[in-house]
């Protein structure tokens, strides 16, 4: 067994019967403080499985855009991914997949795939203005990592320890953070699906206890260059107990590799 | 027949057989310059039909979040919406729907519904700083409205005629515009689904010929107050021939009523 936990834990095996059902195991290595598997990990598992089904059908395995709706927290253990191709166009191929554990629907994914090469590029955004990772601090300051297994799988570097970590929420629900898989394993496009949801939500800076993601949409822009990923996470709208959360991932060459938005339900103290 | 074209043209009729199939007619009253029905209109039709199916199953008819994937341009004429409830949770109910014309899949929608009332609100965004609508100009300046039927269905007011309309793209792919259904018919939440995609894309300001939406995700925040809606539309990332487009809709009381993001394929000259 490899110690590349990301590759191991996002693997699923297609059944030879052409049913589109894939078998997999959700591990306990990506748990949040609620001791449930992280939503970005669930997206990565589902997207990688759906990519294999779409590409087996003659389509591309390169995700362009994915939307996941979360129904119920998963539990570590066996699961089935029920995948199907909805439409195989020339430039874009779209599939959907439902993650099941027993009779329970865990999450539903729709994703479009296609090979993007060439084409016009004009970047009007800018990457986070973070100090060099070596000049940054770990997210958790002197308190040590919190009791969640995903913190063992990820490396984080920030200009300063976030206010909420030290019990002093800043009032500004934004975060800029270097992020990578622990030990520096290079990210692929499926790791981007994890990384957009792998840092604690910035609504902690508003003093809220957390946020449960209902829906997450990600735009993908290919394989990141090796190295740290600069992530910018922002909440701007908290309305009637629900909040948005935007995330951008920029690779070490300053190129945007993913952009995401969540619709989430606020957890109040 | 009412001359409330929005109500008429987004209506669909559920079959009594419990199949979840709804019959409808796509009209030619919401065509873009390509003489195809506008994508926001298609979303409004589908979302309203799915809301009726979800609410017939005991769920809420109030959309929270919707993601649509466009497969093929629709044509004015009969269509079927194949809708089903995926999961009916206590607080959130989620369904999906495929729009069919003959054997052709036109678009696929996943949407979550739920009643939002009370709950924490903290708005960190701000509405567009537009002059009073009476002090604004129509989008088309002295040239008259372009040859597209949707322009007859909508009213637009801007601080100035956009650069691209006069053949001088500004280089800044943003727009702030007052928008409403023609004649001032008040918007409901389904009209928000139309309005997020009812103004020409700001990538025109970069000199591009257009943009085909692949995927559109909308967060909904209830029924707008009567009156004009202030819309802010922005493209920030043009990457390998694809672009994003964000839209916010703010009602006349300064409240955010919808927030959307598109993933689109650039049409080059």
- Map residue A27 onto helix, strand or coil: coil
- Mean pLDDT taken over chain B: 95
* DSSP 8-state assignment for residue B135: G
Q: Which of residues 4-43 of A touch B (CB under 8 A)?
A: none
Instruction: Give the integer Cα–Cα distance in Å for B222 and B231.
Output: 16
Residues in chain A: 269
Contact pairs from chain A to chain B, CB under 8 Å: 164
- Rounded to an integer, the average pLDDT of B133-149 is 85
Take residue B42 and report the two structure tokens written for it: 């298609």
pLDDT: is B23 or B139 the higher one?
B23
- Map residue B109 onto helix, strand or coil: strand
Please count the helices (runs of H) and the strands (runs of E) in chain B. Answer: 4, 14
pLDDT band for position B23 (cuts 50, 70, 90): very high
* B212 and A CB contact within 8 Å: no
Tens-digit pLDDT profile for residues A154-197 = 999 999 999 999 999 999 999 999 999 998 888 899 999 999 99
The pLDDT of residue B183 is 84
Q: Which one of A173, A215, A221 has the shortest CB-CB distance to B239?
A: A221
pTM metric for this prediction: 0.97
Kindly report which listed range (B35-49, B64-78, B139-153) carries the lowest average pLDDT score: B139-153
Please name the residue ranges forming H helices in A139-262: 150-153, 189-195
Instruction: Give the integer Cα–Cα distance in Å for A65 and B95.
Output: 20
The pLDDT of residue A79 is 98
Please name the residue ranges forming H helices in chain A: 5-9, 39-56, 150-153, 189-195
Nearest CA in chain A to B90: A71
* B103 and A CB contact within 8 Å: no
Answer yes or no: is pLDDT of B50 > 80.
yes
Low-confidence spans in chain A with pLDDT less than 50: 1
- B37 bridge partner residues: B31
Answer yes or no: is pLDDT of B268 > 80.
no
Q: Which helix (H) or strand (E) holds A216?
A: strand A210-220
Note whether A48 and A12 are within 8 A (CB): yes
pLDDT: is A116 or B45 the higher one?
B45
pLDDT band for position B269 (cuts 50, 70, 90): low
User: How many CB atoms sit inside 10 A of residue B1's CB?
Assistant: 5
The pLDDT of residue B40 is 98
The pLDDT of residue A147 is 83
The pLDDT of residue A185 is 84
User: How many CB atoms sit inside 10 A of residue A134's CB?
Assistant: 6
The pLDDT of residue A143 is 67
Q: Which one of B87, B89, B215 has the shortest CB-CB distance to A112?
A: B215
- B93 bridge partner residues: B88, B113
Residue matched to tokens 């919406």: B81
The pLDDT of residue B143 is 67
Note whether A140 and A146 are within 8 A (CB): yes
Q: Do A221 and B240 touch (CB under 8 A)?
A: yes
Tens-digit pLDDT profile for residues B189-210 = 999 999 999 999 999 999 999 9
């Amino acid at each position: 067994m490899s110690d590349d936990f990301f590759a191991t834990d996002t693997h699923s095996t297609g059944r030879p019967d052409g049913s589109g059902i894939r078998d997999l195991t959700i591990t306990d290595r990506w748990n949040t403080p609620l001791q449930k598997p992280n939503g970005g990990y669930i997206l990565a598992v589902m997207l990688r499985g759906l990519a294999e089904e779409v590409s087996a059908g003659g389509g591309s395995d390169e995700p362009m855009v994915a939307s996941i709706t979360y129904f119920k927290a998963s539990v570590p253990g066996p699961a089935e991914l029920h995948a199907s191709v909805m439409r195989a166009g020339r430039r874009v191929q779209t599939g959907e997949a439902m993650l099941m554990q027993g009779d329970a629907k865990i999450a539903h994914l729709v994703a479009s795939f296609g090979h993007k090469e060439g084409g016009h590029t004009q970047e009007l955004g800018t990457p986070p203005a973070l100090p060099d990772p070596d000049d940054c601090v770990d997210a958790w300051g002197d308190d040590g990592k919190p009791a969640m297994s995903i913190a063992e799988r990820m490396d984080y570097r920030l200009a300063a320890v976030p206010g909420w970590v030290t019990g002093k929420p800043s009032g500004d629900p934004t975060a800029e953070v270097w992020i990578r898989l622990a030990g520096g394993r290079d990210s692929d496009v499926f790791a981007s699906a994890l990384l957009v949801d792998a840092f604690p939500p910035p609504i902690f800076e508003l003093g809220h206890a957390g946020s449960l993601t209902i829906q997450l949409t990600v735009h993908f822009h290919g394989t990141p260059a090796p190295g740290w990923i600069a992530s910018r996470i922002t909440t701007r709208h908290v309305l009637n107990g629900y909040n948005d959360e935007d995330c951008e991932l920029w690779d070490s060459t300053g190129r945007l590799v993913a952009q995401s938005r969540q619709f989430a339900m606020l957890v109040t103290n």
